[in-house]
């Protein structure tokens, strides 16, 4: 059977990954796209962070920045990403290759296209094992078969010799998970791992990830555009909007007392059980064009609470213990005490009295 040994670093409960003020920008012909613009968060050992937001808000670019997989014309222009104290932004290519697929593994949204069509599933997993565990090809293949078994693929030995096109989408995502976990990473980045799958398969994959997380004691960064998906898995949740973190708190708080109007909108749009996924119908309007962002609060054109003060960009400020929100509304959710005609400066003063993170 499987030999999924817990990772060593998981024993202490320190910070595994710390992202500080990350800015990843794309220089395009039409201007600079600030895909990720000043994002900070941290993931403790063995904990799960949910990253939530509509499509285009910068979730994938954040994840790819951590993996240093940003391609031209994109570039990490500022910030620090430290994994157990090591800064990944300044690490050499060789150091990064040693971390990828080893300390940090990543699975992607599209299981149909994320596996190489010309190699067998077993080969693709064994390649990762052989690369990082420095074992023989034969041992690596045995390990690959063990992993396929561990992710619930029946008849793993036969499946290992099959090509991706012979497997369904759900099975392929299981293969991706097997590949990602074959090296016992301390962090798994899962970028919308269930978005492309149908509802019953989604639930199975999430169950599988939960079971493996508990067994492997690894941390997970679970990216999704659906607050419902992270509900039972995440310890902490980061809500992103237009390249920025707009709300950050523990998972229960986001569900019970979301502060930011955007989080409230996301929460209201969670599909009810048995219902088909409706994508964020509750939030009116569209995501702002990244080349033409509004002045002040980036959400103001869609926000039902928008007020004059919102023409000034709100800081990410504490609204409750362990809850940060980038919104001018008071902690109890009403307009700031200074009134709806408050100027930006007065509001900023009011904000300064609260603990301000960024």
Partner 1 sequence: MAAYILRRVLQAIPIVIGVAVVAFFIVRLAPGSPVDKFRGGRVSPAVIENIIKLYQLDQPLPNQLWSWITTFPQVWRPDAWGYSFTDGKPVLYDLGNKIPPTLLLMGTSLVLTAIISIPLGILGAVKQYSRSDKVITILATIGYAMPTFWLGFMLRTVFGANLKWFPLFGAQTLGQSGLNVPDLLWHLVLPVTTLTIVAVAGWSRYMRSSMLEVLRQDYVRTARAKGLSNNRVVYRHALRNALIPIVTLFGLSIPALLSGAAVTESVYSWPGLGYLAVDAVRTRDYPIVLAFVMIGAIMVILGNLIADILYAFVDPRIKY
Ligand X SMILES: Nc1ncnc2c1ncn2[C@@H]1O[C@H](COP(=O)(O)OP(=O)(O)O)[C@@H](O)[C@H]1O
Q: Per CB under 6 A, does 16 bind ligand SF4?
A: no
Query: CB of 238 within 8 A of CB of 49?
Result: yes
Per CB under 6 A, the list member of 152, 290, 314, 315 interacting with ligand SF4 is 314
Candidates 9, 24, 48, 60; binder of Mg ion (CB under 5 A) is 60
Asked if omega into 73 is within 30° of 0 (cis), the reply is yes
Neighbouring residues of 275: CB distance < 8 A, sequence distance ≥ 6: none
36, 43, 191, 356 from 84: Cα distances, Å: 22, 10, 22, 26
* Nearer residue to ligand SF4 within complex by CB, 152 or 261: 261
127 versus 247: smaller Cβ distance to partner 1: 127
336 binds, among Mg ion, ligand SF4, ligand X, none (CB under 5 to 8 A by kind): none
Which H or E run includes 212?
helix 199-216
CB atoms within 10 A of CB 298: 24
Q: Which of 17, 22, 49, 61 touches ligand X by CB under 6 A? A: 61
Are the CB atoms for 84 and 9 separated by under 8 Å? yes
Q: Which of 117, 154, 321, 340 binds partner 1 (CB under 8 A)?
A: 117
Which position among 116, 136, 284, 343 is part of the footprint of partner 1 (CB under 8 A)?
116
Helix H, strand E, coil C: the string for 249-265 is: EEHHHHHHCCCCHHHHH
Name the binder of 248 from partner 1, Mg ion, ligand SF4, none, CB < 5-8 A by kind. Answer: none
Give the footprint of ligand X on residues 11-30 (CB under 6 A). 26, 28
Choice between 57 and 104, CB closer to ligand X: 57
CB neighbours of residue 189 within 10 Å: 27
Q: Which is nearer to Mg ion, 149 or 191 (CB)?
A: 191
Return residues touching ligand X (CB under 6 A).
26, 28, 33, 35, 53, 55-61, 73-74, 290
């Amino acid at each position: 059977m499987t030999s999924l040994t817990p990772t060593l670093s998981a024993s202490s409960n320190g910070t595994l990954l710390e992202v500080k003020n990350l800015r990843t920008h794309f220089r395009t012909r039409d201007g600079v796209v600030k895909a990720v613009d000043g994002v900070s968060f941290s993931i403790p050992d063995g904990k799960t962070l949910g990253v939530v937001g509509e499509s285009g808000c910068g979730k994938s670019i954040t994840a790819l920045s951590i993996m240093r997989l940003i391609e031209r014309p994109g570039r990490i222009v500022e910030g620090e990403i430290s994994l157990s104290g090591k800064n990944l932004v300044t690490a050499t290519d060789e150091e990064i290759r040693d971390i990828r697929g080893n300390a940090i593994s990543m699975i992607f949204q599209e299981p149909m296209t994320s596996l190489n069509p010309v190699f067998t599933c077993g080969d693709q997993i064994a390649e990762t094992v052989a690369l990082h565990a420095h074992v023989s090809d034969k041992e690596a293949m045995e390990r690959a078969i063990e992993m396929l078994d561990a992710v619930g693929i029946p008849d793993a030995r036969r499946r290992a010799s099959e090509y991706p096109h012979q497997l369904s989408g759900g099975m392929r995502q299981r293969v991706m998970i097997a590949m990602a976990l074959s090296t016992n990473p301390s962090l798994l980045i899962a970028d919308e791992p269930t978005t492309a799958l149908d509802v019953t398969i989604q639930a199975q994959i999430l169950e599988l990830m939960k079971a493996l997380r508990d067994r492997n004691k690894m941390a997970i960064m679970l990216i999704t555009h659906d607050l419902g998906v992270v509900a039972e898995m995440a310890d902490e949740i980061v809500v992103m909007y237009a390249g920025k973190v707009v709300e950050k708190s523990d998972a229960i708080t986001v569900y019970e007392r979301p502060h930011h109007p955007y989080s409230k909108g996301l929460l209201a749009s969670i599909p009810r059980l048995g219902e088909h996924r409706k994508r964020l119908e509750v939030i009116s309007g569209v995501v702002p064009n990244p080349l033409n962002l509004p002045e002040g609060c980036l959400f103001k054109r869609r926000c039902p609470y928008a007020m004059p003060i919102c023409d000034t960009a709100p800081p990410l400020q504490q609204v409750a213990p362990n809850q940060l929100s980038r919104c001018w509304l008071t902690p109890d959710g009403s307009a700031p005490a200074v009134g709806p005609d408050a100027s930006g400066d007065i509001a900023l003063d009011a904000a300064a009295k609260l603990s301000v993170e960024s």
